[in-house]
Amino acid sequence: MVTNINLASPESESKPKLTGKTTLVLSISLLVVTVVVYLALNFVSTRYAGQKTKIENQIAQETAKIGGAEFSDIADFQVRLDTLKKITDEHVRLDLFLRDFSKFVLPEVRVGSLAWEYEKNSLSVSGSTPNFDVLTREIILLKSSPLVQSVEFNGGDAGSEAGQNNVTFSLSIKIAKEKYNK
């Protein structure tokens, strides 16, 4: 019968010494650390909340200062400029257009009335020509004009009376808007 005896390290020395006191201290320390962390976070949170409110108030003050009466004059000026931009976009130099348009009216053609409307972008022209040949040439000339988008011939009538210009006509012309929005 062989008996082994461990002489190097006795069993009682290798076990950790976790006594009741150590456990209690450890537990209390853990709780204290947790509570300290909580309190620290709470303190930081309260401080940050105060800072946040302060900054929010400052932002509100600055915003009120900027949007208030102090700068209402320049804001109004800018609004007026924005409006004027839209107005000037619709600004028409009709004198230049009519001058250009007259180049596309044959000398034999006499315009009796001319009506222009911006919204409809149309020009209604009626007048008289000596004969249908001139009227045809006039329509072709107008159709070739860069000022004109389309020409609609509404009718021509050769009157019974003899005269220099006895063919009356009526035309509806669509204008290329960019030509008079100079």
Partner 1 sequence: MVKKIIGVRVVILPLSLGIVVIMSILFIKPLLFQVLDYRGSIEEGKKQLSDLEVQYQKLSQLKSEWQSMEEKKIIEVALPQDESVENFLTETYQRAARSGVIMSNFSAKSGTADSLCSAAGGAAGTATAESPSSGVSVGDASPDSADFQNTAGAAGSAASCTASVPTQVSFSGNWDQVLNFLKYSTDSNRIANLKSLTISPKGRSSGGVESSGEQAPSDVLSVVVTLEAYYQPKSGTSSPAAIKALASEAGFSENVLKKVQEIVYAPYEPPLVSETGERNIFK
Q: Which helix (H) or strand (E) holds 149?
A: strand 148-158
Is residue 161 involved in binding partner 1 (CB under 8 A)? yes
The piece of 5-13, 129-137, 145-153, 165-173 that touches partner 1 (CB under 8 A) is 165-173
Which residue from 124, 164, 161 is spatially nearest to 142, judged by alpha carbons?
124
DSSP 24-91: HHHHHHHHHHHHHHHHHHHHHHHHHHHHHHHHHHHHHHHHHHHHSGGGHHHHHHHHHHHHHHHHHHT-
Q: Which helix (H) or strand (E) holds 140?
A: helix 132-144
Is residue 132 involved in binding partner 1 (CB under 8 A)? no
Is residue 178 involved in binding partner 1 (CB under 8 A)? no
- Rounded Cα distance, 169 and 141, in Å: 15
Give the total of residues touching partner 1 (CB under 8 A).
Answer: 88
Nearer to partner 1, 7 or 42 (CB): 42
Is residue 155 involved in binding partner 1 (CB under 8 A)? no
104 within 8 A of 141, measured Cβ to Cβ: yes
**Nearest approach, Cβ of residue 100 and partner 1 (Å):** 8
139 within 8 A of 151, measured Cβ to Cβ: yes
Site for partner 1 in 36-55 (CB under 8 A): 37-38, 41-42, 44-45, 48-49, 51-52, 55
**Nearest approach, Cβ of residue 1 and partner 1 (Å):** 34
Site for partner 1 in 95-124 (CB under 8 A): 95-96, 98-103, 105, 107, 109-119
**Nearest approach, Cβ of residue 104 and partner 1 (Å):** 9
**Nearest approach, Cβ of residue 5 and partner 1 (Å):** 27
